[in-house]
């Protein structure tokens, strides 16, 4: 036998063995033909892709629900802070439009501020702006002569006759009787 013929025989036997192994595998798996196996594998892959997309869709829905829950928590926390702020101001006597103004002016730096921090901030605001809490601010009295506080009265010069200042001084000292003033006029 020649080398070439021996190679062809071995190749044929090898191919026949492969076919036999494939037939045995197909019969073990429950398929009649290799085409049926390839169709089954294709449908399985498509089903996996569909299931994967279903899982991804469910994950997206879950993430969206988590975001909505986080937003609701943030809104609830903001409403709680507003209620604490309002309660602290109302406890000190703020009401109506003054309450709205006081709410705008009340500032607390900490996002997680508690009732005590809001109360302290409200007390500070009350000290600065007592009129928002129903307290009348004490008026600073005007200076004599109606001048604004902090300045002296403006000097007004009266129209007088020459010598009238000396006459007034003499009257105050009791040197000149009062009836003489009527006669001088």
Q: Rounded to whole angstroms, how far apart are CA atoms 183 and 144?
A: 34
Q: Is the pLDDT of residue 183 over 60?
A: no
Distances (CA, A) of 91 to 51, 88, 182: 59, 5, 67
Task: Tell whether 180 is covered by a domain.
Answer: no
Number of domains in the chain: 1
* Domain span holding position 106: 9-133
Is 38 inside a domain boundary?
Answer: yes
Name the more confident of 160 and 73.
73
Using CB atoms within 10 Å of the CB of residue 89, give its burial: 0 to 12 exposed, 13 to 18 middle, 19+ buried: buried
In Å, how far are 23, 27, 45, 128 from 32, measured between CA atoms? 8, 7, 20, 93
Residues 6+ apart with CB under 8 A from 150: 143
Give the mean pLDDT of the chain. Answer: 81
pLDDT per position as a tens digit, 125-144: 888 888 877 776 566 566 65
- Percentage of the residues of the chain whose pLDDT score is greater than 90: 16
Residue 115 is assigned to a structural domain of this protein = yes
The answer as to whether 96 is a domain residue is: yes
pTM above 0.85, yes or no: no
In a domain, 164, yes or no: no
pLDDT in tens, 54-95: 888 888 889 999 999 999 999 998 898 888 888 888 888 888
Tell whether 50 is covered by a domain: yes
Q: How far apart are the C-alpha atoms of 137 and 126, rounded to whole Å?
A: 11
Q: Band the pLDDT of 162: cuts 50, 70, 90.
A: confident
Q: Is 151 part of any domain?
A: no
Question: Is residue 177 included in any domain, yes or no?
Answer: no
Do 72 and 80 meet the contact criterion of CB atoms below 8 Å apart? no
Q: What tokens does 14 get?
A: 């090898």
């Amino acid at each position: 036998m020649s080398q070439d013929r021996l190679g062809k025989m071995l190749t044929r036997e090898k191919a026949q063995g492969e076919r036999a192994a494939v037939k045995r595998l197909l019969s073990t798996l429950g398929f009649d033909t290799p085409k049926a196996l390839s169709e089954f594998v294709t449908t399985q892959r498509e089903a996996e892709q569909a299931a994967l997309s279903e899982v991804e869709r469910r994950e997206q829905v879950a993430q969206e629900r988590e975001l909505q829950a986080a937003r609701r928590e943030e809104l609830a926390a903001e409403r709680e802070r507003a209620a604490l702020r309002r309660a602290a101001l109302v406890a000190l006597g703020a009401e109506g439009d003054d309450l709205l103004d006081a709410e705008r002016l009340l500032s607390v730096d900490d996002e997680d501020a508690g009732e005590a921090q809001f109360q302290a901030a409200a007390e500070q605001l009350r000290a600065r702006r007592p009129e928002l809490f129903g307290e009348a601010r004490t008026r600073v009295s005007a200076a004599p002569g109606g001048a604004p506080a902090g300045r002296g009265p403006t000097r007004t010069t009266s129209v007088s006759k020459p010598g009238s200042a000396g006459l007034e001084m003499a009257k105050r000292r009791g040197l000149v009787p009062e009836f003489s003033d009527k006669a001088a006029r």
